Structures are given as C-alpha cells and as structure tokens.
Structure 1
Amino acid sequence: MREKRFAFYKRMGEIIMKFADMTAGIPYAKDPAVVFYKGKYFLYYSRGPFIDGRWGIGVAESTDLDNWTKIGEVPLEQPCEGKGICAPGAIVLEGRVHLFYQTYGNFPKDAICHAVSEDGLIFTKNETNPIFAPTGAWNNGRAIDADVVVHDEKLFLYFATRDPKGEIQMQGVATAPLHSDYGGSTWTQACTDTILKPELAWEGACIEAAAMCKREGKLYMFYAGAYNNAPQQIGCAISEDGIRWERLFEEPLLPNGEPGSWNSSESGHPFLFVDQDERTYLFYQGNNDMGKTWYLSKVEIGWREGMPFVME
C-alpha cells in the first residue's frame, strides 16, 4: 500500500515542503535528489537504518513538488550493497532515469554505483557496480555523495572523498562519455588532487554533497560545508571547465535555521533541481534535534547577473 507522508511549515506566509519517511515510525529522510519524468516528479532519498540496520534509498512521487507520496524503495540486490546504500544523485538521460548512489558501511571502500529505470521506480543495476572509486595519494579511496551534470559532451561525476587519514572530506570529479553505459570501464578520474576542500571557518573539516547546475555555459556547485549538525550549511562555487572552482560567497548561501526553527541543527546535503519552466529549487535536509530525526525541504533559487540567491 502506498503511504502518503508529508508536512508543511510556513515562512513569510508561504507554504513550503517538509517531507520525512515514516516507514519505521520515525521521521527520517536525508540526501534528496529530484527529477521530472513522464509527467510527474520523483524524489530519491536516503531512508534510515531502522528496519534491518542498513541504510536504503526511498522513492516518492509528486505532481506539485510540495506533496510527496512514498511509492517504494530501491532494493539491496548486489554483493557490494550488502551493508546498505544511500545518498542518491539522479538525472534523466535519453529517456531514462539514471541513479548514481553510494554503498554504505565499508568506510574507505565505499564507492559509487549506477542504475537505470524506465518508470522512475524499478531500477536495473549496472553489472559492473561499484562503477567508481578514486585513486591517488591525495585521498583514502572512498567515494560518496555522487551528483552528475552534462558538460562538454561528457557526463561529469562529482563525489566526496577524504584525505589519506580519513579526517578531511573534500570534492573530486570523474568523467565518462555521454552516450556510454556508465560502467566501471567508462570513467576517467579528471583530477589529481581535490577540486574543492574546506577552507572557510564555517566549512569546518568537510565539503560534501555537490549539487550541480549548468547555466549560460558555466557550472555551479552547491555544496554542504561542515559535518552533519556542526551545523552543516550550504555554499556555492562556480567553474568554467568543471575542474577549477571559485567560491561565490564567503558565508553560507543557505544557513541553518534560527534557534527554535525546524532546521536549527543544520541545512545540509543540497540537490539543485531545474523545473520544466526553468525555475530552480534547492532541495536540502534539516533537523532541530542533532540528527534524531531528519526532514527534506526546498527553497527557490533566483539568479541575478549569474549569481544565485535564495528567494524570499
């Protein structure tokens, strides 16, 4: 049976989405990714490990981006998924939904996997999973928090990894031919060092969850700075080639909420969605109890002279 699980809060008189998976009786949804496919919206997200001790990926659908109904989950099927999966990134390419997600529970050996769907719900896993993990002395071999964007006739895959000591979370990138099967042999690591690492005070020891967008020939990366509930907040950087990045702001574009608000513990793990009318929405996760519960929400992003801003 399909369960309808959604809630709302008000800001400036506007009704805004606030969603959580209630499968285990605890409101818990993290790491959003959204696509428009075959006339409706699909939301992919991490659901908590409360059922069998393993993280999983939930699927919800909507007709308006505000009201979401959970319709299923991505099953754990392959050996590499045995300890769990989470943190999906999603894109529609050549009439199919492509999901890029991570294994979980293997820490330095966690890596990126790939699956495709003809209906947005039932996915066929890539036989070569996991398809990508980084190499080189600058990282510890881990790849998580994938997102992809089409650029220069390639698919750019952005991922978070850590330094060799496993302390600093930072960004890397790989590419694959655009019309490939995105299996393990198609990916080329496009960097010999991190492309973005924490430097600002509010970023702490972590930059993760790249959320990609292309506008007027330039790439934008909305990213999460600091580890969960530190608080994690959202910044933005820009690039022309997808490799060299420059921050647009010294302070968070989307900070955590004020004391007493639903997201006072953090506003984190973004995903940038461009709707059919070209309006852009930043989906993100938040909570006010240091991670005992998690909700997903969104804000609309406006653009002024190439600079994004949160619309009031």
Structure 2
Amino acid sequence: MKTKIPLTVIILLNTLALLAQPEMYYGDTSRSGKPFSKDPHVIRFEGRYLMYISAPPSDGGDDGMQGWEIGIAESTDLINWEKIGSVPPSGKVEAKGICAPCALVVNDTVHLFYQTYGNWRNDAICHAWSTDGIHFTRNTTNPIFHPTGDWTSGRAIDAEVYSFNNQYYLYFATRDPDMRIQIMGVAVSPLDGDFKRESWTQKCNKPILAPEFPWEGMCTEGASVIQKGEWLYMFYAGAYNNKPQQVGVAKSRDGLKWEKLSNKPFLTNGDPGTWNSSESGHPHIFEDEDGSTYLFFQGNDDNGNTWFISKVEIGWNDSGPYFK
C-alpha cells in the first residue's frame, strides 16, 4: 500500500525547494527538452539585457562534443529571461559546433567572440558582429586566434575580450601540450584592428594563470574581467565541470601578470540538496549602467544532466569583490 503524503507536507517541501533556488534560475529547454544553459555572458543593448549562452546539441546534453550553438535570451530586469534567438554554426570552420560566447558592445555594434567546438586541439576563437544583437555577420578571417609555443597544445577556448590601456585584451583558455591541464593565456590587438586575425599579438610564452591549489584540480578557464580603479579583476573557473568547478578571483595592474587573491574559491558550489551542489562555474562579471555589478554563473545538482544560470550581486572595497 502506498503511503499518502499529507498536503501540508507537500506544500512545505515545495516551499523549501523554492527557497533553495536563487531568484534568477534560467535553464532553456528548447534544444534538448530539459533545462540546459551554460557559459553566460550578459550585455545591456538597446534598452534591454541580452544574455548569450552555450546551447547543447538538440539530441542530448553534455555527453557529445558536436552540434552546439549559441543561444540568446532577453530580460528587462536581470531576473526573468526569455529565449529570443540563436547563433547556429556557419561554414566549414564552425561545422562541428560553437559555444562559450563573449559579447562586447562597441558604439552601436555587438561583437561576439566564441570558440569552435568538437575539434579537440584544433578548436580556436572566432568573431562575428551584429547591429541588432541577434543576427551576426562572420569575420572573414575566422578563426581569429589560436596560441603558439611549446607551452600550449594550440587550442583556444573561452574567449574574453576586454578594452584596457588603449588595446583589446583577449584572454583564452588552452591546454598543455599533452591536452591534460587547462591553462590560460592572453593576446592583444589595437583598437582599430577590426578584430581580424592579423591584428592579434600573443603576449605570453607561458600560462598567465594555471591550477595550483587543490580546489582548482587540473583546470583554470572561463576568464571574465572588470576594471575597478587601477586594478583589473579576473573571475575565473577552477577545476573541470562538476569536480566541482568553482570560481576564483585574480588581479592585475597591466592585464598580463596576474595574482590570485586567495587559495580558496570566491564562489563555492552549494551544499548537498541545493540547486548548485554539483558546481558553481564559468563566471561572467557584468557591470550595469548604474555601476552595480553582478556575477553570473552556471550550476546544477545532477552532475551535469541539467544546467542552470544564476547570479549574485557583487560589492567592492579596497580588498576587492565581496557578496552584497
């Protein structure tokens, strides 16, 4: 005989489940039939917020490396989001898939930087541009960047492009020559370089950030950069997905040499039973027009069967960022 659960208990359990979820809790179901949104990047453009995300293959989740595209969601309050479009792969370079977007608004144009996916050590960074934030034209020199040198496998993923010191800085994740350890590097371009392949100059011959603390495992990736005063702050992901991946912070005065703020993560995964118990990863730090800043990140509680995106508000003091 089945035991009937009292209605009051059901209501209490549902209430506790809602309390365990953050105010923003976005997972698009249109591609795979289950909530699955990764790698957030948010901008304010033409009076609304746009969030670019990695969207999985239409036939499943994160168990395949081919068929990814970039999803686009819209919001007026940074809490409630609705999918309004997508950027599918285009051409031979992107044929196996694209993901991990970074969006940069320059004047009235959205510039999108993203990686090819499914090519292993040959994945590289591409660029496209749009005047409406939805329909994109590809850079004819794609892929625009991959790293060189005996310290790297040549792969480039997780682009972050930031304007600083009268240049564009391109931060990227790569792997060591054996394709085991995820490490990070940087390249620069003049402001008038149109983001073309020939405009980028690699500025490192070794990693600018690499895993060194136990919580970082074998991976540092997913850079997101913001300037506060004389310092650049980089939010980054440590450890591979669901190991658990968590978020750390580093700082730099010149954009090239980085110092980690702590040997502990800034944003941890959640406790057992919470929505992000498997990880809190792939950060994006967003500064709104009023100066308020929010840290967007991905999380899940089922080892990557589903993925949601949330955010927390960040404050700043002389020591750096803190949770408001």
Q: TM-score with structure 2 length normalisation? A: 0.91
Q: Deviations over 1:87-124 (max 9, x none)?
A: 00111112211111000000100000001110111111
**Higher-Rg member (1/2):** 2
Which residue in 2 is equivalent to 1:294? 307
Aligned AA (1:73): S
CA contact (8 A) 1:254 1:310 kept: no
CA contact (8 A) 1:9 1:18 kept: no
- In the alignment, the residues of structure 1 paired with residue 80 and residue 316 of structure 2 have an alpha-carbon distance, to the nearest angstrom, of 26
Question: 267, 279, 296: which one pairs with 1:254?
Answer: 267
Which residue in 1 is equivalent to 2:251? 238
Indicate whether 1:16 and 2:23 are aligned: yes
Task: Give the number of the structure whose residues are more often strand, by fraction.
Answer: 1
Question: 32, 36, 42: which one pairs with 1:34?
Answer: 42
Where 1:79 maps in the other structure, the secondary structure is coil
Cα deviation, residue 10, structure 1? 3.8
Where 1:19 maps in the other structure, the secondary structure is coil
- The two structures, once aligned, show a CA RMSD in angstroms of 1.4
Structure 2 alignment gaps of length 5 or more: 1-16, 61-65
Cα deviation, residue 290, structure 1? 0.3
Where 1:18 maps in the other structure, the secondary structure is coil
Question: 142, 156, 160: which one pairs with 1:143?
Answer: 156
Cα deviation, residue 67, structure 1? 0.6
Deviating 4+ runs (over 6 angstroms): none
Which residue in 1 is equivalent to 2:132? 119
Which residue in 2 is equivalent to 1:188? 201
- In the alignment, the residues of structure 2 paired with residue 133 and residue 199 of structure 1 have an alpha-carbon distance, to the nearest angstrom, of 24
- In the alignment, the residues of structure 1 paired with residue 181 and residue 107 of structure 2 have an alpha-carbon distance, to the nearest angstrom, of 36
- In the alignment, the residues of structure 2 paired with residue 241 and residue 110 of structure 1 have an alpha-carbon distance, to the nearest angstrom, of 28
Q: Deviations over 1:210-267 (max 9, x none)?
A: 0111111211110000000000000000000111110112211100000000000000
Question: 173, 189, 211: which one pairs with 1:176?
Answer: 189
Taking the TM superposition and a 5 Å limit, the aligned residue runs for 1:1-312 are: 9-10=18-19, 16-23=23-30, 24-51=32-59, 54-311=67-324
Cα deviation, residue 25, structure 1? 1.1
CA contact (8 A) 1:32 1:88 kept: yes
Which residue in 2 is equivalent to 1:4? none
Where 2:25 maps in the other structure, the secondary structure is strand
- In the alignment, the residues of structure 1 paired with residue 189 and residue 130 of structure 2 have an alpha-carbon distance, to the nearest angstrom, of 19
Q: TM-score with structure 1 length normalisation? A: 0.94
CA 37–9 in structure 1, closer or farther in 2 if over 3 Å, else same: farther
- In the alignment, the residues of structure 2 paired with residue 155 and residue 217 of structure 1 have an alpha-carbon distance, to the nearest angstrom, of 17
Aligned AA (1:118): T
Where 1:148 maps in the other structure, the secondary structure is strand
- In the alignment, the residues of structure 2 paired with residue 128 and residue 15 of structure 1 have an alpha-carbon distance, to the nearest angstrom, of 41
- In the alignment, the residues of structure 1 paired with residue 139 and residue 230 of structure 2 have an alpha-carbon distance, to the nearest angstrom, of 30
Aligned AA (1:96): T
Q: Deviations over 1:66-87 (max 9, x none)?
A: 0111001002112110000000
Where 1:33 maps in the other structure, the secondary structure is strand
CA contact (8 A) 1:142 1:162 kept: yes
CA 181–9 in structure 1, closer or farther in 2 if over 3 Å, else same: farther
Count matched residues: 302
- In the alignment, the residues of structure 1 paired with residue 182 and residue 313 of structure 2 have an alpha-carbon distance, to the nearest angstrom, of 27
Aligned AA (1:261): T
- In the alignment, the residues of structure 2 paired with residue 30 and residue 170 of structure 1 have an alpha-carbon distance, to the nearest angstrom, of 20
- In the alignment, the residues of structure 1 paired with residue 97 and residue 117 of structure 2 have an alpha-carbon distance, to the nearest angstrom, of 5
